[in-house]
Amino acid sequence: MTTTAKPASMRDAMPQTADFVDGKSVEWGRAHVRDCIERALRGEPGWFYAMEAGHVRGTPFEAPHPIAEWQSTAVLIGASFAAFMREPEGKGGSDGTAA
């Protein structure tokens, strides 16, 4: 008899991304972070995008947004982890942050 292994949760599969999200939740508020992730998971670019150990979540930022270039660089160099999220309005001049 074979058993099917339960897939790992994304929190388990992407622990650095989880830490990034947790930190932004403290810094920017849980509601803003949840909104960013939900919008990205619905396919809206420019809200949240993360890659870690072969897993990807969210929707990439689009050019000409500066984060789009950072995302491309992360892919080209084969970064093991990169995460990007839109900053709340008024938090510092850009509309994104990266880890």
Give the pLDDT confidence of 76-92 residue by residue, as tens digits. 998 999 999 999 987 65
Give the pLDDT confidence of 32-62 residue by residue, as tens digits. 999 999 999 999 999 999 999 999 999 999 9
Q: What's the rounded Cα separation, in Å, for the pair 8 and 53?
A: 13
Q: What's the rounded Cα separation, in Å, for the pair 47 and 59?
A: 7
pLDDT for the residue numbered 11: 87
Give the pLDDT confidence of 10-34 residue by residue, as tens digits. 789 999 999 999 999 999 999 999 9
Q: Does the pLDDT at position 96 exceed 70?
A: no
pTM attached to this predicted model: 0.82
